[in-house]
Chains A and B, each alone.
Chain A
Amino acid sequence: MHEITLTVNGVVRQASVPARRLLSDCLRHDLGLTGTHVGCEHGVCGCCTVLLDGEPVRSCLTFAVTVDGHDVTTVEGLADPDGTLSPVQRAFAECHGLQCGFCTPGFLCTVTALLRDNPAPSDEEVLEGISGNLCRCTGYQNIVKSVHRAAEIMAEEPWAGAAGSPRVVPEDPRAGEAGDTSR
């Protein structure tokens, strides 16, 4: 077993995991953060996407031991601490960008990073940006609409734009170095 320490949604967490423990299973079953879903366990569907040091990764293709000391944001960490939904979350609700909701956490994480890097993407850039995530319900049309709407909200409310970026935890100096990519 390996003792690991990681910062998840701004909170320092510890877990004792075997080397083969997937990050997706560690988040879900060791840390109780079941918002991250597992759709294929071979890195194709994108349901398990989380932000590792701010960048989207497949948590089902990542061993938990490899993120020791790193910063992870999951769907549970996208809203403000007071519960206010992030612009991306709000846009998905407004535009009916989800149906069964199983792929949604992966899309939300992917889109959060996408808009952080490109606050006003074109249609092409949106399609490219979400082309690694499968959805079996929506036909993507309203997801694309949601991404554009989220960009709009972020432009209207620049103060809300940082949601989903890794949060710095002052007590843990590593998180600040490795993970603070907020704009």
Chain B
Amino acid sequence: MTTKLFGEPVRRREDPRLLTGRGLYLDDLAPGALQAAFVRSPHAHARIRDIDVSAAIEVDGLVAIYTWEDLPGALAEPLPLLIPHPALTHGRTAYPLAREIVRHVGEPVVMVVARDRYLAEDACALIEVDYEILKPVVGVEEAAQSAQLVHADVPGNVGAHLVQEVPSTAGLGAREAIDAAPHTLAFRLDIERSASMPLEGRGVHARWDADDRSLRVHSSTQTSTSVRMAIAAKLGLPLPKVEVVAPDVGGGFGVKIVHPWPEEILVPWAAITLGREVKWTEDRREHFVSSAHERAQVQSVRVGFDDEGRILGLDVEILHDHGAYTPYGIIVPIITSTQLLGPYKIGAYRVEFSSIYTNTVQVTPYRGAGRPQAVFCMERTMDHIAEHLGIDRTAVRAANFVQPDEFPYDQGLIFQDGRPLIYDSGDYPESLRLLKELIGWDDFPGLKARAAAEGRAIGIGIGCYVEGTGVGPYEGGHVQITSDGRVHVSTGLTSQGQGHETVFAQIAAAELGVPLERVSVVTGDTRRFGYAVGTFASRAAVMSGNAIALACRKVKEKALRIAAEALEADPRDLEIVDGEVRVVGAPGSAIPLATVAVLSNPLRYAFDAEAARATQFAGASSFDRPPVAEGEEPGLEGRDYYSPIRSTFASGMHAAIVETDPLTAEIRILRYAVVHDCGNLINPMIVEGQIHGGVAQGVGGALYEKMVYDGHGQLLNASFMDFLMPYATEVPFVETAHLQTPSPLNPLGIKGAGEAGVIPVSAVIASAIEDAEGIRIDRMPISPSDLFDLRRAAPGRSTAGT
């Protein structure tokens, strides 16, 4: 790092346009485009007998109506199963438009294209679909036991079954170790469904250039490169004739990493077929019933431990509800089962999950991606052990920590990237010390007693996690310095509000020694960078950040080489400061990077005075070698990739103090404290913002958000009126402290930060409510009426407030 830019709370470069209404989100594009709307299944499970469009074709402004039977070639096949896994023996994906059977409310059946969205919806309303209603399968335990099948060829509704087992150092299996342990506990945990719920839904716009036979697609996606490949494959187009751009994206949180959504291939196909621009913008109701949900699991836990609370054996069985289809494979339960161990080393571990079909919206990663469930399981286990032994909850955790001198620490499992789960660095005891200090853990009993004396119930809770971030396989960066001295950076992954334009510019400016204002960053545009994976798993800063740093180093090396020749100096004596290559210690001897860029590109034709310096009669080159030397390329640019050996593991610990109302059972978070370690910080302001936002989503998941399905598979709360996301009035002030244990795995020493905030919140709030109430909390989210019911059911508790 040559300047202070890295690690500084630099203001975001995205903000000026977003604050003035000049951002361009999907629905802001292409004002004249035709608009698509969809007829979606009103039934959770049904057979389509007939589709009658006769009334709809009368609608003025209608352009086209498509059903599955209209779809050609690969478009008529099921959508891809994106992440195959040997344990996913019965993976199933949907057709872009339903073929014969619909398997959840909201599944698309008919696509309508019209002059505007109002008219497209008018036509949708007039299309009559005749359904034979089939019995739906709802609820993960019901589905696991039901004779009724979501897919006729998937016995028992089981999509996948996986067991991972890590024996103790003495060679004992988890079950043996538990049976042999001095203490054992067994319990069950439940987590409800929630969803990413970005404020901008999904959306797609496509423009076909009939002369050029090329397609340009905009999608509100977390992966434009992969959407591009999917479109090319599904529509049979040569890859170079398809470009996909992610415009400004109004939040993703996981749901937009899934691809291709039916609309992402249907809209481009319609644009080609009709020779017109076509756009589709998801509305909120559609988002609830046709995008994706997450979280729902039932966990059965058995644990064996010693007198100090050290875990000797842990056996977890998970029933995971993945909804009607598995386009994203079994990533969520894999993450749950592998990240469950958190910052702890335990004797022996066995985890078994069954991933089950139900007639509900599909389940794919939502920020945290299986980790909130994992941490809920492990941290509830820690609290139960502490209660059983009558010792402090933090002492049980400390007794089980992986110690700072034990890194790299191999948990013996295979992680979501198919590679070993080896923690690279961390300092969990220090993290706990900081957290206890921040929240005032040791002083809390006094506080609680004083509150009790006033008739108030307060409780303190804690939750610890380790998060595998920066998963591979790779990302790339391209850096070009042009003859005006500007630095153009591009990377293929996408942005949804994380401030990539700012942090990647900070990295490039710091690496190259140029002012930040000269750097511009483009993400998620396949015209600029075609190779990428996408934005998910807290990977963008780690993956693209390091790739851009490496690309900058290449460019810098070249710049120094060219400048050395011009300055008749040794490249090793040069530095770049403020956009100028200087001889160290000789301030008079300098050449601007703009000029180096000119010299890097030998020219025949001059287009301005600066360029004239590189033309053939300017006398800049030697007669002894060709103008572009062997092994060289014209231009001051470089491209590089970062492909990590394995994931890097961030960690953190949260604590909260809550108050529960003795009469109404209302739950109020009085304080919320976070200690977070994501290695070196690129921009602390942005990291803090990520944590705040994550905690808010965690609070939603702990206290408010759940998808309520009835027995018919109808989502009862598919609106913001009924699905309760926190407003400012529900989110506590978050107090933070940072620990920085750099990752040894990448050049910048960074770890991911995007998901951290959300991961332990349900565990923390459950721990605090349990402390306040003295009632076991095994189910999240918990509403005041849930707590009220728990109080009534608790032995020895009065039924106050009835």
A68-82 interface with B by 8 A CB criterion: 74-76, 78-79
Query: Within 8 Å of chain A (Cβ to Cβ): is B692?
Result: yes
Given contacts A92-B19, A137-B497, contact A40 B12 (CB under 8 A): no
B8-53 interface with A by 8 A CB criterion: 11-12, 14-16, 18-25, 27-28, 31
Q: Which of B19, B23, B31 has its CB near the most chain A CB atoms (within 10 A)?
A: B19
A101, B757: Cβ atoms closer than 8 Å: no
Cβ–Cβ < 8 Å partners of A140 in chain B: 692, 696, 727-728, 731
B198, A89: Cβ atoms closer than 8 Å: no
- Name B11's closest neighbour in chain A (CB-CB): A93
A131, B118: Cβ atoms closer than 8 Å: no
Cβ–Cβ < 8 Å partners of A144 in chain B: 728
Cβ–Cβ < 8 Å partners of B695 in chain A: 139
Query: Within 8 Å of chain A (Cβ to Cβ): is B734?
Result: yes
- Name A93's closest neighbour in chain B (CB-CB): B15
Q: Mark B417-431, 1 if CB is under 8 A from A, else 0.
A: 000000000000000
Q: Which of A29-37, A113-121, A154-162, A167-175 contacts B (4 or more CB under 8 A)?
A: A29-37
A108, B19: Cβ atoms closer than 8 Å: yes
Separation of A79 and B467 alpha carbons in the complex (Å): 42
Q: B685: shortest Cβ distance to chain A, in Å?
A: 5
Separation of A157 and B594 alpha carbons in the complex (Å): 40
Cβ–Cβ < 8 Å partners of B729 in chain A: 127-128, 131
Given contacts A99-B497, A134-B199, contact A42 B693 (CB under 8 A): no
Query: Within 8 Å of chain B (Cβ to Cβ): is A1?
Result: no
Cβ–Cβ < 8 Å partners of B498 in chain A: 99
Q: A41: shortest Cβ distance to chain B, in Å?
A: 6
B734, A141: Cβ atoms closer than 8 Å: yes
Query: Within 8 Å of chain A (Cβ to Cβ): is B141?
Result: no
Query: Within 8 Å of chain A (Cβ to Cβ): is B721?
Result: yes
Q: A149: shortest Cβ distance to chain B, in Å?
A: 13
A96, B689: Cβ atoms closer than 8 Å: yes
Cβ–Cβ < 8 Å partners of A79 in chain B: 20
Query: Within 8 Å of chain A (Cβ to Cβ): is B686?
Result: yes
B231-259 interface with A by 8 A CB criterion: 248-251, 253
Query: Within 8 Å of chain B (Cβ to Cβ): is A63?
Result: no
Cβ–Cβ < 8 Å partners of B251 in chain A: 99-100, 102, 136-137
Query: Within 8 Å of chain B (Cβ to Cβ): is A64?
Result: no
Q: Mark B726-758, 1 if CB is under 8 A from A, else 0.
A: 011101011000000000000000000000010
Query: Within 8 Å of chain A (Cβ to Cβ): is B399?
Result: no
Q: B260: shortest Cβ distance to chain A, in Å?
A: 22
Separation of A104 and B25 alpha carbons in the complex (Å): 13
Separation of A47 and B200 alpha carbons in the complex (Å): 10
A35, B20: Cβ atoms closer than 8 Å: yes
Query: Within 8 Å of chain B (Cβ to Cβ): is A130?
Result: yes
Q: Mark A132-156, 1 if CB is under 8 A from B, else 0.
A: 1111111111111000000000000
Separation of A44 and B729 alpha carbons in the complex (Å): 15
B685, A96: Cβ atoms closer than 8 Å: yes
Cβ–Cβ < 8 Å partners of A39 in chain B: 199-200, 250, 284
Query: Within 8 Å of chain B (Cβ to Cβ): is A20?
Result: yes
Q: A79: shortest Cβ distance to chain B, in Å?
A: 6
| A-B contacts at CB below 8 angstroms, number | 169
Cβ–Cβ < 8 Å partners of B689 in chain A: 96, 99, 137-139, 142
- Name A74's closest neighbour in chain B (CB-CB): B21
Query: Within 8 Å of chain A (Cβ to Cβ): is B725?
Result: yes
B160-211 interface with A by 8 A CB criterion: 197-200
Given contacts A94-B11, A138-B693, contact A76 B20 (CB under 8 A): yes
Cβ–Cβ < 8 Å partners of A34 in chain B: 21, 24-25, 27-28
Q: B686: shortest Cβ distance to chain A, in Å?
A: 7
Query: Within 8 Å of chain B (Cβ to Cβ): is A45?
Result: yes
Cβ–Cβ < 8 Å partners of B733 in chain A: 141
- Name B698's closest neighbour in chain A (CB-CB): A139
Residue of B11, B18, B199 near A135 (CB, 8 A) is B199
Separation of A85 and B16 alpha carbons in the complex (Å): 9
B558-607 interface with A by 8 A CB criterion: none
Cβ–Cβ < 8 Å partners of B693 in chain A: 99, 136-139
- Name B367's closest neighbour in chain A (CB-CB): A136
Given contacts A99-B689, A137-B497, contact A20 B118 (CB under 8 A): yes
Given contacts A103-B199, A104-B19, A131-B728, contact A38 B27 (CB under 8 A): yes
B199, A45: Cβ atoms closer than 8 Å: yes
Query: Within 8 Å of chain B (Cβ to Cβ): is A98?
Result: yes
Residue of A78, A102, A143 near B199 (CB, 8 A) is A102
Separation of A28 and B30 alpha carbons in the complex (Å): 12
Query: Within 8 Å of chain B (Cβ to Cβ): is A179?
Result: no
Query: Within 8 Å of chain A (Cβ to Cβ): is B490?
Result: no
B728, A78: Cβ atoms closer than 8 Å: no
Q: A170: shortest Cβ distance to chain B, in Å?
A: 25
Bin the interface of chain B by size. Answer: 35 or more
Separation of A29 and B720 alpha carbons in the complex (Å): 24
- Name B118's closest neighbour in chain A (CB-CB): A20
Separation of A79 and B18 alpha carbons in the complex (Å): 12
Given contacts A42-B284, A105-B21, contact A100 B728 (CB under 8 A): no
Chain A residues with a Cβ closer than 8 Å to the other chain, count:
57
Separation of A21 and B119 alpha carbons in the complex (Å): 12
Query: Within 8 Å of chain A (Cβ to Cβ): is B283?
Result: yes
A100, B19: Cβ atoms closer than 8 Å: no
Separation of A166 and B676 alpha carbons in the complex (Å): 45
Q: Which of A34, A36, A42, A78 has its CB near the most chain B CB atoms (within 10 A)?
A: A34
Cβ–Cβ < 8 Å partners of A141 in chain B: 692, 731, 733-734
Query: Within 8 Å of chain A (Cβ to Cβ): is B496?
Result: yes
Separation of A149 and B779 alpha carbons in the complex (Å): 40
Cβ–Cβ < 8 Å partners of A20 in chain B: 118
Residue of B118, B496, B727, B734 near A134 (CB, 8 A) is B727
Given contacts A137-B693, A139-B693, contact A102 B200 (CB under 8 A): yes
Q: Which of B16, B116, B199, B691 has its CB near the most chain A CB atoms (within 10 A)?
A: B199
Query: Within 8 Å of chain A (Cβ to Cβ): is B2?
Result: no
Separation of A126 and B733 alpha carbons in the complex (Å): 14
A139, B21: Cβ atoms closer than 8 Å: no
Cβ–Cβ < 8 Å partners of A101 in chain B: 14-15, 18-19, 23, 248, 250, 497
Separation of A78 and B21 alpha carbons in the complex (Å): 9
B728, A96: Cβ atoms closer than 8 Å: no
Q: Mark B666-709, 1 if CB is under 8 A from A, else 0.
A: 00000000000000000001101101111111000000000000
B199, A89: Cβ atoms closer than 8 Å: no
Separation of A116 and B617 alpha carbons in the complex (Å): 66
Residue of A28, A127, A136 near B725 (CB, 8 A) is A136
- Name B251's closest neighbour in chain A (CB-CB): A100
Cβ–Cβ < 8 Å partners of A133 in chain B: 727-728
Cβ–Cβ < 8 Å partners of B697 in chain A: 136, 139
A28, B719: Cβ atoms closer than 8 Å: no
Q: Which of A34, A126, A139, A142 has its CB near the most chain B CB atoms (within 10 A)?
A: A139
Q: A88: shortest Cβ distance to chain B, in Å?
A: 9
Q: B272: shortest Cβ distance to chain A, in Å?
A: 24
Given contacts A18-B118, A47-B199, A135-B199, contact A99 B499 (CB under 8 A): yes
Q: B761: shortest Cβ distance to chain A, in Å?
A: 11
Cβ–Cβ < 8 Å partners of B757 in chain A: 139
Separation of A47 and B27 alpha carbons in the complex (Å): 14
Cβ–Cβ < 8 Å partners of B725 in chain A: 134, 136
Residue of B248, B284, B691 near A41 (CB, 8 A) is B284
Separation of A66 and B11 alpha carbons in the complex (Å): 40
Cβ–Cβ < 8 Å partners of A45 in chain B: 199, 720
Q: B9: shortest Cβ distance to chain A, in Å?
A: 8
A36, B21: Cβ atoms closer than 8 Å: yes
- Name B722's closest neighbour in chain A (CB-CB): A44
B12, A96: Cβ atoms closer than 8 Å: yes
- 6 CB contacts below 8 A, A to B, read A41-B284, A89-B20, A96-B686, A101-B19, A102-B25, A103-B199
Q: Give the interface of A toward B (CB within 8 A).
A: 18, 20-21, 28-29, 32-42, 44-45, 47, 74-76, 78-79, 85, 89, 92-94, 96, 98-105, 108, 126-128, 130-144
A-B residue pairs, 5 tightest by C-beta? A35-B21, A100-B497, A102-B250, A101-B18, A139-B692
